[in-house]
Amino acid sequence: MIMKKYLFFTAMLLVSIIDAKAQSPVADKPKDKKVFEDYYIGDYRFKSRNNWVLFGFGPNIKPSLPNFTNANMELSFNYFDRLDRLWQLSYQTSTLNYLAFGGATVYLNAFNVGRGKVIEKQYYKIAAFAGPSLVYTNYYPLDSTKTINQDKTFGIGLQAQLQFIVKPVYDFGFSISPFVNVNTVQTVAGITLAIYGSNAMERKIKY
């Protein structure tokens, strides 16, 4: 009899607690919303939440190839998605001699995807990206046997890049971008000097 009373009392207590919680108002947590600052130049407005493209060339520091001009070329598209997350899609080649001068040999192709963060002001932008990389080659500057046999090698890796961008006209400028790509085929590192273009100019202000 005592046990039944105890169980009944416990059940009533639990029901009361659950009912009280259900009736108590729960305040919605405020969601942090990113704030993007616009800039005005003359009659034009420029948005800070903008996408941009980089295209350029530069020297590679790693691997060490003392008998060659070790270089790179990169084309990258950097954009915000609908949730204001910053992404990078890029294609990068590592070459013996500069592709811009002709006669270069590609010893690594890299297709990169990265998530990023950016700090942007009217005349400069600093962005950082990191993510996975898919690499491919059939030329081996450190292994002539593989090159002669035309061995094809695919691999995966992790890559990271910093972009230091100066944009005196806001939508146009140039960048210096150190990078590293650690992968299963050939780790590379270097600096890319690129031209910069964005879609920051939004519309002409009408009074």
DSSP class of 138? S
> What pLDDT is stored for residue 34 in this prediction?
58
131-173 confidence digits (pLDDT tens): 999 999 988 888 888 887 778 899 999 999 999 999 998 889 9
First CA to last CA distance, the chain: 85
> What pLDDT is stored for residue 144 in this prediction?
81
**Residue bearing the bigger pLDDT, 20 or 47:** 47
Q: Residue 108 and residue 135: Cα distance in Å, rounded?
A: 7
Considering the chain, what is the average pLDDT of its residues?
84
**Which H or E run contains 180?**
strand 172-183
**Residue bearing the bigger pLDDT, 26 or 194:** 194
87-100 confidence digits (pLDDT tens): 999 999 999 989 87
Can you give the pTM of this predicted structure? 0.77
pLDDT over threshold 90, residue 116: yes
Q: Which residue has the tokens 């600093």?
A: 126
CATH of domain 39-204: 2.40.160.20
179-198 confidence digits (pLDDT tens): 999 999 999 999 999 999 99
Mean pLDDT, rounded, for 20-38: 54
Residues 74, 194: contact at Cβ < 8 Å?
yes
